[in-house]
Amino acid sequence: MGLRIRAARADDAAALDDICIRTGHAGGDATDLYAHPELLADVYLRPYLVLSPDLAFVVANDDDVPLGYVVGVADTAAFEAACEERWWPLVRERHPQGSAEPGSRDAALVQLVHEPRRTDPDVAARFPAHLHVDLLPVAQGGGHGRALLERLFAALRERDVPGVHLGVGAANARARAFYHHLGFTTLEEDDGGALLGLRLDAGRG
Ligand SMILES: CC(C)(COP(=O)(O)OP(=O)(O)OC[C@H]1O[C@@H](n2cnc3c(N)ncnc32)[C@H](O)[C@@H]1OP(=O)(O)O)[C@@H](O)C(=O)NCCC(=O)NCCS
């Protein structure tokens, strides 16, 4: 299978939603775990495509169908402010507070939509960028995750971004080992998961 990396396009949206949902449960398929699995894309994918389209890359097969993606932002604080203004209001309208079954996974995401987490300003200062990367099982383990991240890191370095962070759930040991292998270190950790960071300016004079 010949896979290649390219910039994400608007017409990839449905395929990327699908990848997000099929990798949304600690790296595994989340489709049947949610009444509205597209909420995962509303939180972890779509705002990046809308607000930071130049930092979205896909790995596509011979038919140009995306099998994986990385989405990122260069400035997390600015992105969070833009989401508050231009993204969350749209999702809140579609998923009002109290609209999901109490205690369900949907309810946890609806809560996040209405009360989004804000990144610690110290983390955002040292590691201003952040990212999400997801590949379908068929594309995993072949170097494409690394290739997607390196493509994003090159784009961030071009913008003189000094560091990048990301969150990984406690149940996703495989992804965490992958990130550590690529040089990320643990910045914070609790029962839910870990915040990892990587400086992009190491070795620069
Ligand atoms: C996690 C994920 C992005 C990794 O991408 P991948 O394409 O499978 O990984 P790669 O093949 O590019 O691996 C890159 C390097 O990391 C190493 N690596 C990968 N997984 C590893 C692991 N669990 N432990 C140690 N090293 C690992 C590889 O050996 C490879 O090393 P090398 O480049 O020095 O030879 C991908 O498997 C995935 O999308 N999983 C499902 C969704 C997910 O969990 N996303 C992350 C949510 S936080």
Residue (of 176, 78, 172) closest to 118 by Cα position: 78
Q: How far is CA 83 from CA 11, 56, 68, 110, in A?
A: 22, 17, 24, 15
| pTM of the predicted model as reported, rounded to 2 decimal places | 0.97
Range of the domain at 49: 4-199
Tell me whether residue 171 is in a domain.
Answer: yes
Q: Read off the CATH number of the domain in which 127 is found.
A: 3.40.630.30
For 19-35, the pLDDT digits (tens) are 999 999 999 999 999 99
CA 128, 134, 137: angle at the middle one, nearest 5?
160
Which atom in ligand 1 lies closest to the alpha carbon of residue 68? Answer: 39
Per-residue pLDDT, averaged over 30-55, amounts to: 98
Residue 202 exposed, middle or buried by CB count within 10 Å (0-12, 13-18, 19+): exposed
Residue from 151, 178, 180 to probe ligand 1 pocket by mutation (most atoms less than 8 Å from CB): 178
Residue 1 exposed, middle or buried by CB count within 10 Å (0-12, 13-18, 19+): exposed
Number of H helices and number of E strands within the chain? 9, 7
Task: Please state, in angstroms and rounded to a whole number, the distance separating the CA atoms of residues 159 and 81.
Answer: 20
Tell me whether residue 204 is in a domain.
Answer: no
For 51-97, the pLDDT digits (tens) are 999 999 999 999 999 999 999 999 999 999 999 999 999 999 999 99
Residue by residue, DSSP assigns 113-176 as HHS-----HHHHHHS-EEEEEEE-GGGTTSSHHHHHHHHHHHHHHHTT--EEEEEEETT-HHHH
Task: Please state, in angstroms and rounded to a whole number, the distance separating the CA atoms of residues 190 and 155.
Answer: 31
Token code pair at residue 42: 């509303």
Tell me whether residue 77 is in a domain.
Answer: yes
Task: Please state, in angstroms and rounded to a whole number, the distance separating the CA atoms of residues 151 and 3.
Answer: 14
Which atom in ligand 1 lies closest to the alpha carbon of residue 148? Answer: 12
Phi, psi of 28 (to 5 degrees): -105, 180
pLDDT beyond 70 at 123:
yes
- Residue closest via CA to ligand 1's atom 42 equals 27
The answer to whether the CB of 9 falls within 8 A of the CB of 66 is: no
- Three-state DSSP state, 203: coil
pLDDT-derived band at 2 (thresholds 50, 70, 90) equals: confident
119 CA from centroid of ligand 1 (Å): 25
The answer to whether the CB of 8 falls within 8 A of the CB of 50 is: no
pLDDT-derived band at 98 (thresholds 50, 70, 90) equals: very high
Tell me whether residue 205 is in a domain.
Answer: no
140 CA from centroid of ligand 1 (Å): 7
176 CA from centroid of ligand 1 (Å): 9
As for how many domains the chain has, the answer is: 1
Which atom in ligand 1 lies closest to the alpha carbon of residue 166? Answer: 48
